[in-house]
Structure 1
Protein backbone atom coordinates (compact mmCIF):
# COMPACT_ATOMS: atom_id res chain seq x y z
CA UNK A 1 0.00 0.00 0.00
CA UNK A 2 2.86 2.34 0.80
CA UNK A 3 4.36 1.77 -2.57
CA UNK A 4 1.01 2.52 -4.26
CA UNK A 5 0.70 5.82 -2.34
CA UNK A 6 4.31 6.62 -3.10
CA UNK A 7 3.77 5.82 -6.75
CA UNK A 8 0.65 8.01 -6.88
CA UNK A 9 2.35 10.82 -4.94
CA UNK A 10 5.54 10.61 -6.99
CA UNK A 11 4.31 12.64 -9.95
CA UNK A 12 2.67 15.17 -7.59
CA UNK A 13 5.88 15.58 -5.56
CA UNK A 14 7.88 15.85 -8.75
CA UNK A 15 5.55 18.57 -9.94
CA UNK A 16 5.87 20.48 -6.61
CA UNK A 17 9.65 20.17 -6.73
CA UNK A 18 9.69 21.34 -10.35
CA UNK A 19 7.55 24.37 -9.47
CA UNK A 20 9.76 25.15 -6.48
CA UNK A 21 12.88 24.96 -8.64
CA UNK A 22 11.25 27.10 -11.33
CA UNK A 23 10.20 29.68 -8.73
CA UNK A 24 13.72 29.72 -7.25
CA UNK A 25 15.23 30.15 -10.72
CA UNK A 26 12.82 32.99 -11.54
CA UNK A 27 13.55 34.68 -8.20
CA UNK A 28 17.30 34.36 -8.73
CA UNK A 29 16.96 35.63 -12.29
CA UNK A 30 14.89 38.61 -11.12
CA UNK A 31 17.47 39.49 -8.48
CA UNK A 32 20.25 39.33 -11.07
CA UNK A 33 18.28 41.49 -13.53
CA UNK A 34 17.32 44.04 -10.88
CA UNK A 35 20.85 44.30 -9.58
CA UNK A 36 22.01 44.95 -13.13
CA UNK A 37 19.51 47.81 -13.43
CA UNK A 38 20.35 49.33 -10.06
CA UNK A 39 22.25 52.58 -10.17
CA UNK A 40 25.32 52.73 -8.03
CA UNK A 41 25.53 55.66 -5.63
CA UNK A 42 27.47 58.42 -7.30
CA UNK A 43 30.60 59.32 -5.44
CA UNK A 44 30.87 63.04 -4.67
CA UNK A 45 33.14 64.91 -7.02
CA UNK A 46 36.39 66.18 -5.58
CA UNK A 47 36.59 69.91 -4.98
CA UNK A 48 38.77 71.58 -7.61
CA UNK A 49 40.98 74.10 -5.81
CA UNK A 50 42.04 75.63 -9.15
CA UNK A 51 38.50 76.21 -10.37
CA UNK A 52 37.61 79.76 -11.35
CA UNK A 53 34.07 79.53 -12.73
CA UNK A 54 30.77 78.33 -11.30
CA UNK A 55 27.14 78.24 -12.42
CA UNK A 56 23.98 77.36 -10.57
CA UNK A 57 21.39 78.94 -8.32
CA UNK A 58 21.86 81.17 -5.33
CA UNK A 59 19.66 82.33 -2.53
CA UNK A 60 20.28 85.11 -0.03
CA UNK A 61 18.05 85.70 2.98
CA UNK A 62 18.52 88.61 5.37
CA UNK A 63 16.62 88.52 8.66
CA UNK A 64 15.97 92.27 8.62
CA UNK A 65 12.70 94.04 9.38
CA UNK A 66 11.03 93.33 7.01
CA UNK A 67 12.95 90.19 6.00
CA UNK A 68 14.60 90.27 2.58
CA UNK A 69 15.02 87.29 0.31
CA UNK A 70 16.56 87.00 -3.13
CA UNK A 71 17.16 84.04 -5.43
CA UNK A 72 18.50 83.80 -8.96
CA UNK A 73 20.49 81.73 -11.35
CA UNK A 74 24.13 82.74 -11.48
CA UNK A 75 27.24 82.46 -13.56
CA UNK A 76 30.42 83.50 -11.74
CA UNK A 77 33.97 83.59 -12.99
CA UNK A 78 37.25 84.98 -11.74
CA UNK A 79 38.35 85.69 -8.21
CA UNK A 80 38.00 88.38 -5.55
CA UNK A 81 40.31 90.71 -7.52
CA UNK A 82 39.00 90.37 -11.09
CA UNK A 83 35.87 88.68 -12.33
CA UNK A 84 32.28 88.82 -13.40
CA UNK A 85 28.91 87.68 -12.13
CA UNK A 86 25.68 87.38 -14.07
CA UNK A 87 22.34 86.89 -12.30
CA UNK A 88 19.34 85.53 -14.17
CA UNK A 89 15.65 84.90 -13.59
CA UNK A 90 14.18 81.39 -13.63
CA UNK A 91 13.18 82.06 -17.25
CA UNK A 92 16.76 82.92 -18.17
CA UNK A 93 16.56 86.69 -18.61
CA UNK A 94 19.49 88.65 -17.20
CA UNK A 95 18.63 90.48 -13.98
CA UNK A 96 22.05 92.03 -13.43
CA UNK A 97 25.63 91.75 -14.61
CA UNK A 98 28.63 92.74 -12.52
CA UNK A 99 32.28 92.91 -13.35
CA UNK A 100 35.18 94.06 -11.24
CA UNK A 101 38.88 94.66 -11.16
CA UNK A 102 41.13 96.33 -8.60
CA UNK A 103 39.73 99.78 -7.73
CA UNK A 104 36.55 99.44 -9.79
CA UNK A 105 33.30 97.48 -9.84
CA UNK A 106 30.44 97.98 -12.28
CA UNK A 107 26.81 96.91 -12.05
CA UNK A 108 24.70 96.75 -15.22
CA UNK A 109 21.04 96.40 -14.40
CA UNK A 110 18.01 97.27 -16.50
CA UNK A 111 20.10 99.23 -19.00
CA UNK A 112 21.67 101.37 -16.26
CA UNK A 113 25.29 101.26 -15.23
CA UNK A 114 26.45 102.01 -11.69
CA UNK A 115 30.10 102.28 -10.68
CA UNK A 116 31.55 101.43 -7.28
CA UNK A 117 35.03 101.71 -5.77
CA UNK A 118 35.20 97.99 -4.91
CA UNK A 119 33.38 94.71 -5.26
CA UNK A 120 32.65 94.73 -1.53
CA UNK A 121 30.91 98.11 -1.91
CA UNK A 122 28.94 96.91 -4.94
CA UNK A 123 27.79 93.73 -3.17
CA UNK A 124 26.81 95.57 0.01
CA UNK A 125 24.84 98.20 -1.91
CA UNK A 126 23.03 95.74 -4.17
CA UNK A 127 22.35 92.93 -1.68
CA UNK A 128 21.67 95.05 1.38
CA UNK A 129 24.31 93.29 3.46
CA UNK A 130 28.08 92.85 3.45
CA UNK A 131 29.26 89.47 2.15
CA UNK A 132 32.90 88.40 2.63
CA UNK A 133 33.88 88.17 -1.03
CA UNK A 134 37.48 87.06 -0.55
CA UNK A 135 36.34 84.30 1.82
CA UNK A 136 33.50 83.33 -0.54
CA UNK A 137 35.98 82.58 -3.33
CA UNK A 138 38.08 80.53 -0.88
CA UNK A 139 34.97 78.61 0.22
CA UNK A 140 34.07 77.93 -3.41
CA UNK A 141 37.47 76.28 -3.84
CA UNK A 142 36.89 74.21 -0.68
CA UNK A 143 39.31 76.21 1.44
CA UNK A 144 38.05 76.93 4.95
CA UNK A 145 38.53 80.61 5.65
CA UNK A 146 37.50 82.19 8.91
CA UNK A 147 35.54 85.42 8.82
CA UNK A 148 34.37 86.98 12.05
CA UNK A 149 30.62 86.52 12.44
CA UNK A 150 30.32 84.05 9.53
CA UNK A 151 30.09 80.25 9.46
CA UNK A 152 30.56 78.38 6.21
CA UNK A 153 29.53 74.76 5.81
CA UNK A 154 31.78 73.25 3.15
CA UNK A 155 30.79 69.63 3.86
CA UNK A 156 28.33 69.51 0.91
CA UNK A 157 30.65 71.25 -1.54
CA UNK A 158 31.62 67.96 -3.26
CA UNK A 159 27.89 67.43 -3.84
CA UNK A 160 27.53 70.88 -5.41
CA UNK A 161 26.23 72.89 -2.44
CA UNK A 162 27.62 75.68 -0.28
CA UNK A 163 25.90 77.18 2.74
CA UNK A 164 27.19 80.18 4.70
CA UNK A 165 25.57 82.13 7.52
CA UNK A 166 26.34 85.45 9.13
CA UNK A 167 25.40 85.29 12.79
CA UNK A 168 26.92 88.63 13.79
CA UNK A 169 26.38 91.53 13.39
CA UNK A 170 22.60 91.51 13.22
CA UNK A 171 20.59 91.11 11.11
CA UNK A 172 21.65 87.56 10.36
CA UNK A 173 22.09 86.53 6.75
CA UNK A 174 22.10 83.19 4.98
CA UNK A 175 23.72 82.47 1.62
CA UNK A 176 23.01 79.21 -0.24
CA UNK A 177 24.60 78.16 -3.52
CA UNK A 178 23.66 75.08 -5.57
CA UNK A 179 25.94 74.35 -8.51
CA UNK A 180 25.00 72.89 -11.89
Structure 2
Protein backbone atom coordinates (compact mmCIF):
# COMPACT_ATOMS: atom_id res chain seq x y z
CA UNK A 1 0.00 0.00 0.00
CA UNK A 2 1.37 3.37 -0.97
CA UNK A 3 -0.15 6.76 -0.24
CA UNK A 4 1.17 10.11 -1.44
CA UNK A 5 -0.43 13.29 -0.10
CA UNK A 6 0.30 16.48 -2.06
CA UNK A 7 0.66 18.60 1.05
CA UNK A 8 3.41 21.09 1.87
CA UNK A 9 5.75 19.34 2.36
CA UNK A 10 4.48 16.26 0.50
CA UNK A 11 3.83 13.20 2.66
CA UNK A 12 4.43 9.60 1.65
CA UNK A 13 3.32 6.46 3.42
CA UNK A 14 4.25 2.94 2.31
CA UNK A 15 3.41 -0.28 4.12
CA UNK A 16 2.41 -3.86 3.68
CA UNK A 17 -1.09 -4.56 4.90
CA UNK A 18 -3.53 -7.23 5.93
CA UNK A 19 -7.22 -6.31 5.90
CA UNK A 20 -9.68 -8.58 7.71
CA UNK A 21 -13.29 -8.39 8.78
CA UNK A 22 -15.78 -6.17 6.99
CA UNK A 23 -16.97 -2.60 6.71
CA UNK A 24 -18.66 -2.68 10.12
CA UNK A 25 -16.07 -4.52 12.18
CA UNK A 26 -12.54 -5.17 11.06
CA UNK A 27 -8.82 -4.79 11.34
CA UNK A 28 -6.09 -3.31 9.16
CA UNK A 29 -2.57 -4.35 10.10
CA UNK A 30 0.24 -2.27 8.59
CA UNK A 31 3.75 -3.70 8.33
CA UNK A 32 7.17 -2.40 7.36
CA UNK A 33 9.03 -3.82 4.33
CA UNK A 34 10.93 -6.03 6.80
CA UNK A 35 7.68 -7.38 8.26
CA UNK A 36 7.54 -5.61 11.61
CA UNK A 37 4.12 -4.33 12.68
CA UNK A 38 3.85 -0.56 12.32
CA UNK A 39 0.25 -0.21 13.50
CA UNK A 40 -3.00 -2.09 13.91
CA UNK A 41 -6.25 -0.26 13.18
CA UNK A 42 -9.40 -1.87 14.57
CA UNK A 43 -13.00 -0.77 14.30
CA UNK A 44 -16.48 -1.85 15.24
CA UNK A 45 -19.70 0.10 15.70
CA UNK A 46 -19.01 3.01 18.03
CA UNK A 47 -15.26 2.40 18.32
CA UNK A 48 -12.07 2.99 16.32
CA UNK A 49 -8.83 1.93 17.96
CA UNK A 50 -5.16 2.33 17.04
CA UNK A 51 -2.56 0.02 18.54
CA UNK A 52 0.95 1.32 17.89
CA UNK A 53 4.27 1.24 19.75
CA UNK A 54 2.76 -0.71 22.65
CA UNK A 55 0.01 1.85 23.21
CA UNK A 56 -3.69 2.01 22.33
CA UNK A 57 -5.61 5.14 21.39
CA UNK A 58 -9.29 5.58 20.57
CA UNK A 59 -10.60 7.79 17.76
CA UNK A 60 -14.12 9.02 17.00
CA UNK A 61 -14.23 7.30 13.58
CA UNK A 62 -12.33 5.06 11.19
CA UNK A 63 -11.61 8.14 9.05
CA UNK A 64 -10.03 9.98 11.98
CA UNK A 65 -8.07 6.83 12.83
CA UNK A 66 -6.69 6.41 9.29
CA UNK A 67 -5.82 10.11 9.13
CA UNK A 68 -3.81 9.81 12.35
CA UNK A 69 -1.78 6.95 10.86
CA UNK A 70 -1.35 8.00 7.22
CA UNK A 71 -1.73 11.79 7.25
CA UNK A 72 -5.10 11.78 5.43
CA UNK A 73 -8.47 10.08 5.85
CA UNK A 74 -8.32 6.93 3.73
CA UNK A 75 -11.78 5.47 3.03
CA UNK A 76 -11.07 2.20 4.84
CA UNK A 77 -14.69 1.05 4.69
CA UNK A 78 -14.78 1.56 0.90
CA UNK A 79 -11.63 -0.54 0.50
CA UNK A 80 -13.71 -3.66 1.10
CA UNK A 81 -16.02 -2.82 -1.81
CA UNK A 82 -13.15 -1.73 -4.04
CA UNK A 83 -11.24 -4.94 -3.37
CA UNK A 84 -14.38 -6.88 -4.38
CA UNK A 85 -14.36 -4.94 -7.65
CA UNK A 86 -17.31 -2.72 -6.69
CA UNK A 87 -16.75 0.97 -7.53
CA UNK A 88 -18.31 2.28 -4.30
CA UNK A 89 -18.66 6.03 -4.43
CA UNK A 90 -16.84 8.04 -1.77
CA UNK A 91 -17.22 11.81 -1.80
CA UNK A 92 -14.02 13.43 -3.07
CA UNK A 93 -12.45 10.13 -4.22
CA UNK A 94 -12.15 8.53 -7.66
CA UNK A 95 -11.31 4.84 -7.81
CA UNK A 96 -9.80 3.00 -10.76
CA UNK A 97 -10.48 -0.73 -10.72
CA UNK A 98 -9.29 -1.42 -14.28
CA UNK A 99 -6.25 -3.42 -13.10
CA UNK A 100 -7.84 -5.18 -10.15
CA UNK A 101 -7.67 -8.55 -11.96
CA UNK A 102 -3.90 -8.02 -12.10
CA UNK A 103 -3.84 -7.25 -8.36
CA UNK A 104 -3.64 -3.46 -8.60
CA UNK A 105 -6.01 -0.79 -7.33
CA UNK A 106 -5.67 2.98 -7.52
CA UNK A 107 -7.79 5.64 -5.84
CA UNK A 108 -7.27 9.37 -5.94
CA UNK A 109 -8.69 11.97 -3.59
CA UNK A 110 -9.42 15.15 -5.48
CA UNK A 111 -11.30 17.01 -2.73
CA UNK A 112 -10.77 18.42 -0.24
CA UNK A 113 -7.21 19.58 -0.83
CA UNK A 114 -4.54 18.43 -0.64
CA UNK A 115 -4.96 15.70 -3.23
CA UNK A 116 -3.90 12.17 -2.36
CA UNK A 117 -2.99 9.13 -4.44
CA UNK A 118 -3.57 5.64 -2.98
CA UNK A 119 -2.06 2.63 -4.74
CA UNK A 120 -2.51 -0.95 -3.62
CA UNK A 121 -0.75 -4.03 -4.95
CA UNK A 122 -2.20 -7.37 -3.88
CA UNK A 123 0.02 -10.40 -3.50
CA UNK A 124 -2.77 -12.95 -3.99
CA UNK A 125 -2.22 -14.88 -0.77
TM-score for both structures, normalised by structure 2: 0.92
1:126 deviates by 2.0
Unaligned runs of 5+ in 2: none
- Residue equivalent to 1:174: 117
Q: How many residues align?
A: 123
Structure (1/2) with the larger strand percentage: 2
Q: How many angstroms apart in 1 are the aligned matches of 2:72 and 2:33?
A: 23
Q: Secondary structure, in 3 states, of the residue corresponding to 1:61?
A: strand
- Summarize the Cα distance change of 1:82–1:141 in structure 2 as closer, same or farther, 3 Å threshold: same
Does structure 1 residue 75 correspond to structure 2 residue 18? yes
1:147 deviates by 2.2
Q: How many angstroms apart in 1 are the aligned matches of 2:91 and 2:64?
A: 18
1:86-118, Cα deviation, whole Å (9 max, x unpaired):
111111111111211111111111111111122
Structure (1/2) with the larger helix percentage: 1
Q: Which of 43, 53, 69 matches 1:100?
A: 43
Aligned alpha-carbon RMSD (Å): 1.2
Q: Which of 116, 119, 142 matches 2:62?
A: 119
TM-score for both structures, normalised by structure 1: 0.65
Q: How many angstroms apart in 1 are the aligned matches of 2:2 and 2:48?
A: 22
- Residue equivalent to 2:8: 65
Unaligned runs of 5+ in 1: 1-57
Q: How many angstroms apart in 1 are the aligned matches of 2:67 and 2:6?
A: 15
- Residue equivalent to 1:90: 33
Q: Which has the larger radius of gyration?
A: 1
Q: Secondary structure, in 3 states, of the residue corresponding to 1:148?
A: coil
